[in-house]
Structure 1
């Protein structure tokens, strides 16, 4: 993800120009919650502590210390790989579809058209409520879609409202550019005639 998008401006990777059509508007773009890195980081830290403790003992054979060092280096490499995967993965919603771009060597793009979504379930575990993430489960018409479950979504309350607004907005609603949400680097799009703005 080198460089910035010419169409969408700073903060949007140039890579997305290949996947998005000119008329699409980005509603939000994000990386998964940092909690996905908690286990690899904790494992590496624990391994480092174990290695330091074993190295401090006088009666530990040198061969065992070398083996433990090798194992810890593998744990460290795994943590770096997971962090790289996390950084390269992007989840975004446009006014037309949901998209998950992921993979390091082979880039993969999973797509769920907004028009295919018939319902969406929003789950938040106790841990998710404490740390601020949630899971979206999409129900679609017809065959199974590639992107049906998205877990570890940060600021999930806000993003659930944004996706719901697009899915359940009236088809005649006109989408216009609005100000970016707090903390967002991507403009937010919303229907002009959303249900809460209508006059009876």
Structure 2
């Protein structure tokens, strides 16, 4: 994700120009909550502590094996951090998108018009740390994007998505009422019965 979008402005990666159409408006764009990196980070730190303790007690082949194992844990942490940074969850006025993958780039899409219901879950940990999970239900077949977990500021983003999904008819009515030339001209026939003179 090098560079910024010319179409959507600073802060929006240039890559999104390939996936978004010009008339779409970005409602929000975010990365998953940092808690997804907690387990790999804790594992890496714990591995380093064990390696340091064993190195003080002994030396030789066992320490070398532990060093290799810790380097694998460190590589895993770096890979998870790269995946986290490279993954974007985007909501536009037309669809939800999850852009992810390092080697193979994938774009999961759920059109807003297909969402029939939306569930919002927050575990105890999620309430403490400030993240939640969205579960979308759609009419028809299973969609590529149905569950999005570890959403930061989930209360705010839930309200933003709900406003798009569940209030489109109100927006359409408002747009029609305010649109110029929205009235349909009515013409009456000249020979209508109420115009005839006896």
Partner Cα distance (2:5, 2:53) in 1: 49
Residue 111 of structure 1 aligns to a residue whose secondary structure is strand
Deviations 1:109-162 (A, max 9, x none): 000000000000000000000000000000001100000000000000000000
- State the match for 1:84 in structure 2: 82
Matches within 5 A, 1:122-137: 122-137=120-135
Choose from 54, 66, 69 the match for 1:68: 66
Choose from 102, 106, 111 the match for 2:100: 102
Task: Note the C-alpha offset of 1:61.
Answer: 4.2
Partner Cα distance (2:167, 2:27) in 1: 14
Task: Note the C-alpha offset of 1:106.
Answer: 0.8
- State the match for 2:20 in structure 1: 20
More displaced stretch, 164-173 vs 147-156: 164-173
TM-score (norm 2): 0.86
Residue 171 of structure 2 aligns to a residue whose secondary structure is coil
- State the match for 2:187 in structure 1: none
Consecutive unaligned residues in structure 2, runs of 5 or more? 177-198
- State the match for 2:30 in structure 1: 30
- State the match for 2:169 in structure 1: 171
Runs of 4+ residues over 2 Å off in structure 1: none
Larger RCO (CA within 8 A; separation ≥ 6) = 1
Partner Cα distance (1:10, 1:34) in 2: 23
Bigger-Rg structure (1/2): 2
Task: Note the C-alpha offset of 1:170.
Answer: 3.1
Task: Note the C-alpha offset of 1:173.
Answer: 1.1
Task: Note the C-alpha offset of 1:171.
Answer: 2.8
Partner Cα distance (2:49, 2:36) in 1: 22
- Aligned residues, how many? 175
